[in-house]
A = this chain, B = another copy of it.
Amino acid sequence: MKSLVGRGTLYGLGLGPGDPDLMSVRADRLLRAARHVAFFRKAGRPGHARQIVSGLLAEGVREHPLEYPVTTEIPFDSPNYKSLLADFYADCCDRLRSLTETGEDVVVLCEGDPFFYGSFMHLYMRLKDSLSIQVVPAITGMSAAWTATGIPMTWGDDVMTVLPGTLPESELAQHMTKSDALVVMKVGRNLPRVRRALAAASRLDAAWLVENASMTEQRVVKLSEAEQQSAPYFSIVLVHGEGRRP
């Protein structure tokens, strides 16, 4: 590792589920003191992470939007997607490294917990051996989602499985059969497949759909009563555990 003397620190700052009141005390303090704030967004959009911190940033803060060259326009498993994203992350890393070389700390805003399905991980893996990086964990979207249902999630010996809704239906159903508590992330356009998998595993009646947990648009509904064919990006499907209790 090259000497880091005189260089700034990069912070992977977990913002939590969306309500700024649910950020950690540490994240809140670092954010209010930050002179450089970077965040991912889709080109032409304000960026969700940036919206969460509206009103918390110091005057004169310098903002560094990192704009995805592509999001869902082309398949994520195509060579073209992979190459575009790899170039994008390399470019982001160059920008962040240059900033820290001037001695400045940089805060990267991360929705949810940075190490749990986070975009920041792509930068972290490329920079961790050459930069000083601190990661601030956060409340996950799933914690906010089960809190929103008003029903405890896991008891005693319950097994909990977290499934990306992007998985094939049969694989989803298999996991859904074998686990007590279930969390399905990345629901969005995958909702019909998630619903079919839950039905195949005989878990549909116990499933909840939570949209935008902890945000002003929060909506909690039994999945069997939701007739929609898709859900917002920040949607989570849950089945609560019912394990041992005195």
**Chain A positions near chain B (C-beta within 8 angstroms):** 16-17, 20-26, 28, 76-77, 81-83, 85-86, 89, 113-118, 121-122, 124-125, 128, 135-140, 143-144, 146-147, 150-164, 166-167, 174-175, 178-179, 214, 244-246
By a CB distance below 8 angstroms, the chain B residues around A153 are 115-116
Integer count of this chain's copies in the complex: 2
Question: Contacts A137-B144, A154-B116; is A167 near B161 (CB within 8 Å)?
Answer: no
Contact check, A160 vs B161: say whether CB atoms are below 8 A apart. yes
Contact check, A24 vs B23: say whether CB atoms are below 8 A apart. yes
Residue of B nearest to A77 (CB): B244
By a CB distance below 8 angstroms, the chain B residues around A214 are 137
Question: Contacts A23-B25, A152-B125, A246-B85; is A143 near B116 (CB within 8 Å)?
Answer: yes
Contact check, B139 vs A137: say whether CB atoms are below 8 A apart. yes
Distance from A59 Cβ to chain B, minimum over Cβ atoms (Å):
20
Question: Contacts A21-B26, A22-B25, A159-B161; is A137 near B128 (CB within 8 Å)?
Answer: no
Residue of B nearest to A138 (CB): B139
Contact check, B140 vs A89: say whether CB atoms are below 8 A apart. no
By a CB distance below 8 angstroms, the chain B residues around A152 are 114-115, 118, 121, 124-125
